[in-house]
Amino acid sequence: MNFQNFLSELANHLVDNFVEYAFFVTPFFIIFWMVFRHKFQGIRIQEVQRANAHHFQHDLRHTVVTLFIFSLMDVSLLYLQTLGFTFLYDKIEEFGWFYLLFSFAVVLFLHDAFFYWTHRAMHHPKLYHFFHRVHHESTDPSPLTSGSFHPSEAVVENALQFILPFVMPLHFSVILAWQLFDIINNVLGHLGYELYPNGWVKMPVLKYKTTSTHHNMHHQLFNGNYALYFTWWDRWMGTEFKDYESRHTQIFERKHIRKSANGWYLLKVKHITPEANDAITIHFGDVPSIFHDFSAGQHVTIGVEIDGAVYYRTFSLASVPNADEDAKLTIKKIKGGKVTSYLAENLKVGDTLEVAPPSGQFCLIPEPAHQKHYVMIAGGSGITPIYSMIGTVLKFEPKSKISLLYANRTSESIIFKEKLEKWAKEFPTQFEIKHFLSEEENPQNATKGYITRVSLEALLNRYDKRKLDFYLCGPEIMTNKLIEDLAYLGIAKDKIHRELFLITAQNQNNPGAAKALVQAKVFGKIHQFETHDGLTILQSGLAQQIPLPYSCQSGLCGTCKMKCTEGKVTMLNNQTLSEQDIKAGYILTCQALPQTEKITIQNS
């Protein structure tokens, strides 16, 4: 084979590999991710879709490179075969049918072992960035992810298929059957939907075959479930996630999960823990997977019935996603607060609360290869989402560092004090805390006063400000001032992330708002209500006990983001929605004044 023939064979193999990829991947992607994705929602592994156009484009770009490398290795193997260097053969009679079947079983076992150990090795911090990070761009994988690899990982992925023909006799049909088995397994592993039936993980023999859930959990949680075809290596080496079987089973039992008339989850209180500063932490046990898969920093809206009326309030989740067994809400009793006072004084173990799925754009999605430095700034009960973020980084981003600036009145009012101190001792090189106490004289291990520009300057003098990411949560007056200080100190706007947890609602009438009939689809339930003159859609809905999602009511947090599919609105303020969001029809209901007689909206 001369060089020209080599190039010709390479081109042919590249076309064949693209056709094979398209034949197996495209139908699954179109059916499950485009045309019938709502129909198959009941078997979706991650209930909330996180993959978007960015991930799809990323996967396709890297797949092109992967297929080129596979083709190059395949043609090189065939060239060496023509020179007599391999044990490939084309006549079954040479070794017989028994050996044919035996060799197929052997290559599957060897490939499964090879994949497990190389895959696990590529998760080592010193190798991850150079091999495996590209593939883990998709924490919510789709069929397109099945071919998305860094060039170095693509070589490793195809290495055994290149090496084995030099070690043992293999019939060409075994190679083809191996490739077919591998690509189908790969597509199903990245499908995002569970096609293996309920009970599979408990069936004799069959339970050792990996399901779609098995590999999907790996993309979510990174360090575990490394297997390719069979689960036994993970079981033998103790790297299988302990809740794998329950996660798989729960997918098929979602229809039996208790929900309210609004379509919200009915969660039972398992435990209530008193916290500092008139706060309590509510533990919900045996929760649906959606309350494990949320992004750190997100919140939920709960419905509380008091004296015959239902009140809706939003609270941040305090649990660490995909780490804590329970879903947890930490709630501070507010003076004059009807709902917080009721929960603090009347809620008991065994009670049931109506809880909406997690939402919110103030969140942190971990990436094991990141080497970031997060500066977390919290005031009072604003520590709740920050606490969830800190726990997430410590568990899933071992190379990242966290500096926490936490403001309270006294040392007795520090929420999560013992837990934060425990983390600081457990991760001394990764996590540091600096407390600020405004009403305590001569505080120990803390600074008297507030977090100020001087405090920020002291931090910036120790670290390279270009490498810092800031996350703030606390009272509006505090976070507004600190954001001004950060801008003055030269911190780029895109490096500052803020959540507001306590803002006075804008109840005043606004001019230019038409009276409208609103049809709102919230978490699958349709509600209809009329708006009041001069009020936003959210204000009108809440006045009529419509469970619209919301938090800050100032256009800053994005919790009330919904898609307007009919009618027009004018927004008073918007510091959250991008131009793409607005073009797609998204609005902030807390800032939306109706401009037409009929408005149709749905939660995103």
Does the pLDDT at position 510 exceed 80? no
Cβ neighbours of 345 (radius 10 Å): 9
Assess if residue 244 is contained within a domain: no
Residue 482's alpha-carbon distances to 195, 407, 408, in angstroms, are 50, 12, 15
Confirm whether 547 is domain-assigned.
Answer: yes
CA pair distance 592, 516, nearest whole angstrom: 12
pLDDT band at residue 337 using 50, 70 and 90 as cut-offs = confident
**Interatomic CA distance for residues 113 and 376, integer angstroms:** 42
The whole-chain average pLDDT of the chain stands at 91
* CA gap 329, 283 in Å, rounded: 7
**More confidently predicted of 2 and 198:** 198
pLDDT, position 514:
73
Least-confidence region, from 300-314, 408-422, 470-484: 300-314
Confidence class for position 513, pLDDT limits 50, 70, 90:
low
Q: Tell me which amino acid residue 388 is.
A: S
- Number of helices and strands in the chain (H, E): 16, 21
Please name the residues in contact with 190: beta carbons below 8 A apart, sequence gap of 6 or more. Answer: 138, 141, 142, 143, 144, 145, 146, 215, 216, 219
In a domain, 219, yes or no: no
Q: Kindly state whether residues 161 and 301 are assigned to the same domain.
A: no
363's CB contacts (< 8 A; 6+ apart) are 294, 295, 296, 297, 298, 389
What is the rounded CA–CA span in Å between residue 148 and residue 141? 10
Q: What confidence score (pLDDT) does residue 503 get?
A: 43
Domain total of the chain: 4
Report the pLDDT value the prediction gives residue 327, as an integer from 0 to 100. Answer: 95
> How would residue 604 be classed by pLDDT, with cut points 50, 70 and 90?
low
Q: Say what percent of the chain tops pLDDT 70.
A: 97
> Stretch 40-53: mean pLDDT, rounded?
87
Rounded-to-integer distance, Cα 593 and Cα 7, Å: 64
Confidence of residue 504 (pLDDT cuts 50, 70, 90): very low
Are 478 and 532 in the same domain? no
- Predicted local distance difference test score (pLDDT) of residue 506: 43
171 with 113, same domain: the answer is yes
Region 274-303: mean pLDDT is: 91
Dist CA 298 CA 388 (whole Å): 9
Per-residue pLDDT reduced to its tens digit, 353-362: 999 888 888 8
Domain that holds residue 547: 517-603
For residues 458 and 549, the model is more confident at: 458
Q: Does residue 153 belong to any structural domain of this protein? A: yes
Cβ-contact 486, 569 below 8 angstroms: no
End-of-domain residue from the set 292, 324, 355: 355
Confidence of residue 500 (pLDDT cuts 50, 70, 90): low
Give the model's pLDDT for residue 445.
87
Question: Average pLDDT, stretch 381-393?
Answer: 96
Domain boundary among 188, 206, 229: 188
The verdict on 52 and 102 lying in the same domain is yes
Same domain, 492 and 383: yes
The whole-angstrom separation of Cα 420 and Cα 446 is 14
* Same-domain pairing of 349 and 402: no
CA distances from 337 to 317, 340, 341, 342, 517 (A): 19, 6, 6, 8, 31
- Residue 537, number of CB atoms within 10 A of its CB: 29
Residue 464 lies in a domain: yes
CATH code at 293? Answer: 2.40.30.10
pLDDT tens for each residue of 214-258? 999 999 888 899 999 999 999 999 999 988 998 999 899 887 788
CATH of the domain at 441: 3.40.50.80
Give the pLDDT confidence of 242-253 residue by residue, as tens digits: 889 989 998 998
Tell me, yes or no, whether 402 and 472 share the same domain.
Answer: yes
Taking Cα atoms as reference points, which of 335, 394, 342 lies closest to residue 364? 394
Burial of 518 (0-12, 13-18, 19+ CB in 10 A): buried
Is 216 inside any structural domain? no
Q: How far apart are CA 204 and CA 195, in angstroms?
A: 18
Residues 147 and 179 in one domain: yes
Q: Do 264 and 170 belong together in one domain? A: no
Mean of the pLDDT values across residues 195-206? 95
In a domain, 245, yes or no: no
Are residues 525 and 464 both part of a single domain? no
Residues 6+ apart with CB under 8 A from 158: 69, 70, 73, 74
- Specify the CATH number for the domain of residue 596: 3.10.20.30
Alpha helix (H) ranges present in 397-526? 417-426, 453-462, 476-488
pLDDT digit string, tens, across residues 472-491: 999 888 999 999 999 999 99
Q: Coil, strand or helix: which one is 567?
A: coil
Residue ending a domain, among 321, 355, 389, is 355
Query: Of 197-211, 301-315, 386-400, where does mean pLDDT reach its minimum?
Result: 301-315
CA trace torsion 114, 120, 124, 128 (10° rounding): 80
State whether 150 and 286 are in the same domain: no
Instruction: Calculate the alpha carbon distances from 165 to 16, 88, 332 in Å.
Output: 21, 6, 66
Measured CA to CA, the distance from residue 423 to residue 425 in angstroms comes to: 5
Domain assignment of residue 406, yes or no: yes
Residues 171 and 46 reside in one and the same domain:
yes
Which pLDDT tens digit goes with each residue over 371-385?
899 999 999 999 999
CA distance 403 to 380: 17
Tell me what the mean pLDDT of segment 324-345 comes to: 92
- Residues 360 and 473: beta-carbon distance below 8 Å: no
